[in-house]
Structure 1
Amino acid sequence: MTLLAIDGATKKFDGLTAVNEVSFGLEAGEIVGLLGPNGSGKTTLINLVSGELAVTAGSISLNGQRLTGRRRDQIARAGIARTFQLVRILPSLTLIENVTIPAVFGPGRRTVAEAQEVALEALKQVGLSEMATASAADLTYIDQKRLELARALASEPKVLLLDEWLAGLNPTELAEGIALIRSLKESGITILMVEHIMEAVRALCPRVVVMNSGRLIADEATETALRDPHVIAAYLGEGADA
């Protein structure tokens, strides 16, 4: 059974169609890359799945449960978590405090003590458990990204949406980031990741879906897509070498 099903998702803004009848699904345990040039509608689609935006038409469901029309907190509790292009952490709090907050509001009802246990496990997953009591304001950029990822994991999602989580990393950090995402896949989580770094896409995503001008133009194996003339023209530019 398809875990996440996107069926004809459409989003219009004052006559501009940012996402145009997009349909695809994710199976449990997959990592799928969401590719496309800037302005193609990728982040808007992520916002539709997470409930940041309401769909104009179409439907989105998780495990057969319709998400369309539900509040963001309800969608999060159902099992959708995300990161953002610009890191969103609470710099005035410690790492454990940052992660305990989403853990409290995850699925089920937890005491603060129970939420802290979940938060510590999430920090451990991203390699920050030894810094649990440190101030988030003192983190390096890569560790800020790790912390945001831990915040998403603390809600114990079925589907994790990564919006350019690897952007801005140096080569060493990029390798660490790829290894971290791979370790999450091994834990069984399903991931849809918006990404422009082809090294990461090839390393992590056996399959990609590609958008251009709001429409889905490809849904296929990564290496096949990166040789597809339509993908090359839309995403990499005419005559570019994938």
Structure 2
Amino acid sequence: MDRPTPEMLALFDTPEWLRVVGVFDLETTGVDVAADRIVTAHVGVLDASGAVISARDWLADPGVDIPDGATAVHGITTAHARAHGRPAPEVVAEVVGSLRGLLDAGIPIVAYNAPYDFSLLKNEAVRHGIDPIVDPAPVIDPLVVDKAYDRWRRGKRTLSVVAAHYAIRLDGAHEASADAVAAGRVAQALAERFAPWLPATAHELHTRQIAWARAQAAGLTDYFIQIGRLDPDDRLDGSWPIR
């Protein structure tokens, strides 16, 4: 995709629906959305400048041991979670409630690699007898949007790398609040850079991301098969924003 010139960008404002965004991130016991548990969570709201206008953080006792590998990522040990974390059912219920409040208000929720966080939260809700969020909308996933609008850029697409690419500061990577806020600001940077091509509404962008994510998973599947990382009969799940 050709980059818009500064003159072109001057003709386009940031979409109205991106001037207030929710942000959401989890840190967990692992990467299995069906089996792993929430350790920390963040739900917040950013204004048009990327400033935090509301925020809430949670520390849960997940009810299981936190593997050393997970602790190495987010810094929370089993002992710390047990001593200072709240019961997982309470945390899950409050996170679900906070996200529902944003969605009911029509505020888009930014989540980087959204299927991971929303799927794990859904499974945690089911585990604890809480009515799950099964079809969150509108969601903005900067990972999917960045791949769609800048498909051929080389390099990794981790949050830290993509944040650096868009000149977004990320202090404390893999801490739920830092990651959530950085993802929200990346979404706003994407909106500024690619304003001429953005859809008119957050719901239209949500719909486009469903197709983009499916296509991206198919392309990655083909690549992994070519390099021998996947068997020819295996396919990556391209469901979005929840699996």
| TM-score normalized with structure 1 length | 0.30
**Which of the pair is proportionally richer in strand?**
1
